[in-house]
Structure 1
Amino acid sequence: MKRIASMTAALLLIGSSAVAQTTVVLPGEVRTYVMEQNTPSIAYEGEIVVGQPIPETVEIHTIPDQPDFAYAIVNDKRVVVNPKTHTVVEVLQ
């Protein structure tokens, strides 16, 4: 019984550290820049999910002085992505 409790605790710790690694703190200047852009929206039938990539066919736009972030406007939502992987970092409201 003690062994099962130890294994459960270890799994919980591993799971929580994996979640912590996926959290990205978006710099305020990135948020401001993306919200100010007047870029046309792209229609996309799929769902936009944080942590999941958007298709390579969706055009992303660079953000000056922010090489770790890019953005797209998809289905009228402003989406911040990792420009190397196209992974959604945050959907801005």
Structure 2
Amino acid sequence: MKNALIAAAVTLTLAVPGVAFAQNAQSGAAAGAATGAVGGAIVGGPIGAAVGGVTGAIVGGTLSQSDSTRVHQYVVQQRRPSVTYREKVVVGEPLPQTVELYPVPADVGVQTQYRYSVINDRTVLVDPQTRRIVQVIE
């Protein structure tokens, strides 16, 4: 039984990334969460599944290089004020409620559920529900 479960999990883990490439950033996060949860469950049981799911959602939700460039150009044009933040600006770290998040409008040509902010003169994409940084755009 355990071997069958592991085989099914490995098959799903190998299949989901191919599907994720064909999807936009919104479903990429979902596919990343599913893949991470399965991989984490294999290695660490229920706790590993939870950790893997969060990590997979973050990695699966990032924008492509061309979409990142479009968002960055838009942000520069908007001239939003940069927030000084003493903590490290890294993927996975949550931002405090005092940091304002702005939507990425559809006319930018990028479909994403994420919001952006400018932290220490760097554009970051943020999951508005968890307030965690999902991508730092250079």
Structure scoring higher RCO (CA < 8 A, sep ≥ 6) equals 1
Identify, as 1 or 2, the structure richer in helix: 2
Give the aligned length. 83
C-alpha distance 25-46 of structure 1, shift in aligned 2 (>3 A): closer
Paired amino acid for 2:71: V
Whole-angstrom CA distance in 1 between matches of 2:128 and 2:70: 16
**Residue by residue, what CA displacement relative to the aligned partner does 1:33-91 show, whole Å, maximum 9, x if unpaired?**
43122222111112222112111100111111345111000111111111222110101
Structure 2 match to 1:26:
63
Unaligned runs of 5+ in 2: 1-41
Is the 2:125–2:134 contact (alpha carbons within 8 Å) kept by the matching residues of 1? yes
TM-score with structure 2 length normalisation? 0.49
Equivalent residue in structure 2 for 1:11, among 38, 43, 46: 43
Whole-angstrom CA distance in 2 between matches of 1:13 and 1:63: 37
Identify, as 1 or 2, the structure richer in strand: 1
Is 2:97 the partner of 1:56? yes
Is 2:85 the partner of 1:44? yes
C-alpha distance 91-25 of structure 1, shift in aligned 2 (>3 A): closer
Is the 2:85–2:120 contact (alpha carbons within 8 Å) kept by the matching residues of 1? yes
RMSD: 2.6
Quick one: percent identity of the two aligned structures?
Answer: 31
C-alpha distance 39-50 of structure 1, shift in aligned 2 (>3 A): same
Secondary structure of 2:72's match?
A: helix
